[in-house]
Structure 1
Amino acid sequence: MTNNTERKTYIDRFLTQFFRGRPYQVEVVTGDASFRRYLRVHKESESYILMDSDPSKVNNDPFVELNASFSQVGLRVPEIIATDMTHGLLLLNDLGCEHLADLLQSPDRLKYYKSVLALIPSIAKVAYSPYMKPYDSAFIQQEIEIFEQWLLAGWLDYELDDYQNAQWQLCKHQLVENMLSQPQTTMHRDFHSRNIMRDEYHWVLIDYQDAVQGPVTYDVVSLLRDCYFRLPDDEFSLLHNESYHILTSAGLLNGMSYTDYQRYFDLTGLQRHLKAAGIFIRLLLRDNKGGYLNNIIPTLEYVIEVAERYECFQWLATWLANEIMPLIDNKLNTAK
């Protein structure tokens, strides 16, 4: 593991070599929910983005390899201009600062969402890569257990009793089965408003390095049930219907009915949002990043709202609403 002084030395050497000794300026853009951080580099009238990704913490090979895979099907991703893979430095073209998240109050919001949904068939057709982790039963269950390990045990100091544990295990099993029984396609896996950038008139995908082959509804859930923004109900219904027709027209649903699609979508959302709530707390406890705490309640409200519609998840909805949410409220109010 390298320290900040060492990383600054690596960065200065890398940029000095790339610019052949000509002067440049560096400003911090942002970190993200991983161990990466991003710097904007100015050289005269040109600007670039430097991804600083310590290889002792992050494997950067998937970012490079999947960049090519996404590009091959016509998807726009950051251009990799230069690399120092030994020290985890990648110089990218500067895509600006505008994300879909910055356009959500626009009167053209629906138009934007429809055009982004239209990208999903191309993502689905990205060829399998050995850099994609197996999205199997064990991995899906492990994702759900992030909620149990970090939010319940780690943050709330909450321990399930025997009955609760039996119900929880049943819920996990049903969610895993739901995800494995869908048509499996390549999915971005973090396809939400903060990971979709607007470059002039084109959408550009970032944070694609965790792409896997998994349930066909996953990226639609990520977009339409965004943890950071809730669509109005009428717009959600319209876009959900639109997504079904887009995936059907692309031959990705294997003749699935809309009713079955709705169920697959809903239960996939349960898995994703339980995982996301756990990740928000992991970011706090492990990485000292508390900026996601306000997203926990809305994310779990999605889970409760959806779980209430299905008899087999009534226990989950009741348990979260009556036991876990009050504990979270108390924890958040105490932290203020």
Structure 2
Amino acid sequence: MNRYKSLQQFLNPHFDDEVYQLAAITGDASFRRYFRLNRGQESYIVMDSDPAKLDNTPYIELNKVFSEHGFKLPKILHADEKQGFFLLSDLGNIHLADMLDDKERINHYKHLIKLSAQWAKMPPVEHMEDFDRAFLELELSIFLEWLVEGLLELKVTAAERTLWQTSCELLIENILAQPSVTVHRDFHSRNIMHSEQQWAIIDYQDAVQGPVCYDLVSLLRDCYFKLPHDELEYLLEHAFTEFEQQGLINNTSFATFKQWFDLTGIQRHLKAAGIFCRLNLRDGKLGYMDNVLPTLRYISDVAQEHSSLVELGKWINSTIIPATLAALNKVPTK
């Protein structure tokens, strides 16, 4: 409540004591809170990002960098960096997620594949970490800690731990083998907006230097929406051609590109499934639990298409998914 009063004190000078309405926007997975501010016919977004919990420097600095390179992002209109309060431009309320039943869906994805390629070509700057081995090991550990041992309370056997370590090594090697580019990290349907006839990007502050296929996985193997198989295959081939034309990949076969894509997807979905559980167990955010099973099924299905990861897929399918089904029957999902 004290923080909310401080937020109002931050806003009041910018509106000359004019009457405005402030309404909470739900659904963010981080410690940030968002509000929509309405004043007459004007609207803004207010971000509360407590610097005691989050470093806001990347949000501010990367906003400048990506905006200067022509990407449409929320504009930072006013900021109190010490308190972590931001007044942002309002990009509206239409996300890619709201447009997935559109008859133009394939064209939307093709435009976004091109946009992701342009994003990837951004030169590295300060505040972008490297998606290196240590980073990957940390991300993969989230699955065991928060889903297997946390939510499911399973004791991992020696054989399962060996399987896990072998599988993680394959996934890490796959990612490190790819060209390194600028990666958004959460380039999916809830972070891509359609505003004033343009595609706009939010939640860009965790951008890193990482594998060329990562954002493509976020887009085409979205944890929140499953593309029909034929559309996914078509768009993956389209992306391969686009990435070649943009110079992101050279002398790479489509088979290699698809393997990069598939195995990168497994790594990302292992992390995501763990994070959904962490949001529930640590942060009390239950709404993401609906996404755990679809994410696990992605992992199982794709892993069993690759001989080196068949056993991982079987473990997920025969042990983790049944245990998750049982656990979810005890967990409220709203």
Q: TM-score, normalised by structure 2?
A: 0.97
1:38 aligns with 2:34: yes
- Aligned twin of 2:278: 282
The gaps in structure 1 that reach 5 residues or longer are none
- SS of match in other structure, 2:77: strand
- Aligned twin of 2:199: 203
- Among 143, 148, 151, the alignment partner of 2:147 is 151
Deviation track 1:231-253 (CA, whole Å, cap 9, x = no partner) reads 01111111111111111100001
Cα distance in 2 for partners of 1:325, 1:45 equals: 49
Displacement of 1:28 = 1.0
| Residue identity in the other structure for 2:308 | C
1:125 aligns with 2:121: yes
| Residue identity in the other structure for 2:139 | E
1:90 aligns with 2:86: yes
- Aligned twin of 1:23: 19
- Aligned twin of 1:170: 166
Structure 1 runs of 4+ aligned residues shifted over 4 Å read none
- Aligned twin of 1:218: 214
- Among 308, 311, 314, the alignment partner of 2:310 is 314
| Residue identity in the other structure for 1:295 | N
1:272 aligns with 2:280: no
- Among 279, 290, 293, the alignment partner of 1:297 is 293
Cα distance in 1 for partners of 2:206, 2:21 equals: 31
- SS of match in other structure, 2:190: helix
Q: Which moved more, 1:257-266 or 1:131-140?
A: 131-140
- Could you tell me whether the CA contact under 8 Å between 1:189 and 1:210 is conserved in 2? yes
- SS of match in other structure, 1:335: coil
Cα distance in 1 for partners of 2:27, 2:300 equals: 31
1:107 aligns with 2:107: no
Displacement of 1:87 = 0.8
- Among 212, 231, 236, the alignment partner of 1:235 is 231
| Residue identity in the other structure for 1:88 | G
Q: Which moved more, 1:174-183 or 1:120-129?
A: 120-129
Cα distance in 1 for partners of 2:232, 2:159 equals: 36
- SS of match in other structure, 1:55: coil
Deviation track 1:67-109 (CA, whole Å, cap 9, x = no partner) reads 1111122111111111011111111111110000000011111
Displacement of 1:120 = 1.3
- SS of match in other structure, 2:225: coil
Q: TM-score, normalised by structure 1?
A: 0.97
- Could you tell me whether the CA contact under 8 Å between 1:55 and 1:88 is conserved in 2? yes
- Could you tell me whether the CA contact under 8 Å between 1:31 and 1:38 is conserved in 2? no
Q: Give the fraction of aligned pairs with identical amino acids, expressed as a percent.
A: 46
- Among 164, 175, 180, the alignment partner of 2:176 is 180
Displacement of 1:31 = 4.2
